Copies of this chain bind each other. A is one copy, B any other.
Amino acid sequence: MGDGARFTLRALAEALGAGLEGDPDVVVSGVAPLEHAGPEHVSFLTDGRYLAAARSSRAGAFLAGPEAHGLPATVLRVAAPRLALVALLRLFEEARPAPAGIHPAAVIANGAFVDPAASVGAYAVIEEGAIVRARARVMPFAYVGHAAEIGEDSTLHPHAVVLERVRLGRRVIVHAGAVLGADGFGFVPHGGGWLKIPQIGSVVIEDDVEIGANTTIDRSTMGDTLVRRGTKIDNLVQIAHNVEVGADSVIAAQAGIAGSSRLGRHNVVGGQSGIGDHIVLGDDVVLGGAAGVVVDLPEGGRYLGYPARPAAEAKRVWVLESRLPELIRRVRKLERRLAALERPGEGAGESASR
């Protein structure tokens, strides 16, 4: 994309540290997958399975690893094509630097601190005692509550909501509409109804975390709901109060983690998965889409289904479920044949029919 970014293949090869096999003077103006690419695009082959597709692609050039041969245009040859693709996309990404300073239509409370190197957009609100550190970017309609803290180089996209005392580390990205620090959902039964338990804790988001659009992460009853370093969270995810998510994990869209659960490091939580309350997950747990975890899973590994089972077992159950009608027929037949055997004087042959 890029409004008009254009590169020669020579320039791309230099920027990527790639070998160049073919015409270095070809100019490309975008990146596209194999089936959509035209002569103006550089395409990419990050998985050998697509070699046939690459050979029939109309791309003007290919980014490819050491094994891909017979490609029909100039090749940018790299050792690690997936990482190189990230670098390639960055070159075509539009560099739109954040406007420096504070937009006149932002409201900064007395007693808030905004670093001079931070950027605050139109109609942002930063409440008393809040801290916005260097190179942080607070986009229009973002809200930074009382005594909240936005770390260096972090970005709040439009309409992101960071409520009071929530603390974000460095290079955190909060997408539009995400809400960090709403009250945890806690009530005590009282007189036939429910009494609200004050949620006096907060939320801590460590460095390099990314939080998707309209995701919600609740403040804890006491202490902090915690998302550790490097974890990436997709859209519309719910993280309840007192939860702790380990480092370098990935949580896909619409997953939900109920109160007080603790996830280890490097988990992968599939879309629409649910993790019950007070559950403990170990490291390297991988949950398939819509899995439902109702007991602790201390061991890493892949789990599927509801209730979540080890993947191989879950798949076997799914296959066998489909065979239930056949199984019932077999049992019925067994019952008839056995009844025939039990009745002396009747032949077994007949009962085996049907």
B161, A177: Cβ atoms closer than 8 Å: yes
A143: nearest residue on chain B (CB-CB)? B158
A33, B222: Cβ atoms closer than 8 Å: yes
Contact with B along A301-323 (1 / 0, CB 8 A): 00001110100010011101111
Check if A176 is an interface residue, CB within 8 A of chain B: yes
Chain A residues 248-292 with CB under 8 Å of chain B are: 248, 250, 252-254, 256, 258, 266, 271-272, 274, 276, 289-290, 292
Contact with B along A323-354 (1 / 0, CB 8 A): 11101101100110110011110001101100
A238, B236: Cβ atoms closer than 8 Å: yes
Check if A218 is an interface residue, CB within 8 A of chain B: yes
* Complex interface: chain B residues within 8 A of A342 (CB): 337, 341, 348-349, 351-352
* Complex interface: chain B residues within 8 A of A82 (CB): 188
B125, A143: Cβ atoms closer than 8 Å: no
B165, A143: Cβ atoms closer than 8 Å: no
Number of copies: 3
A146, B338: Cβ atoms closer than 8 Å: no
Check if A47 is an interface residue, CB within 8 A of chain B: no
Cross-chain contact of A93 among B3, B32, B190, B200 (Cβ < 8 A): B200
Check if A89 is an interface residue, CB within 8 A of chain B: yes
B163, A176: Cβ atoms closer than 8 Å: yes
Given contacts A140-B143, A161-B176, 14 further A-B contacts (CB under 8 A): A31-B200, A83-B195, A86-B195, A92-B200, A122-B125, A158-B161, A161-B213, A177-B179, A179-B214, A212-B216, A253-B256, A254-B274, A338-B341, A342-B348
Give the interface of A toward B (CB within 8 A): 1-3, 30-33, 36, 82-83, 85-86, 89-90, 92-94, 96, 103, 105, 107, 121-123, 125, 140-141, 143, 145-147, 157-159, 161, 163-165, 173, 175-177, 179, 182-183, 185, 187-188, 190, 192-198, 200-202, 208, 210, 212-214, 216, 218, 221-223, 230, 232, 234-236, 238, 240, 247-248, 250, 252-254, 256, 258, 266, 271-272, 274, 276, 289-290, 292, 294, 305-307, 309, 313, 316-318, 320-325, 327-328, 330-331, 334-335, 337-338, 341-344, 348-349, 351-352
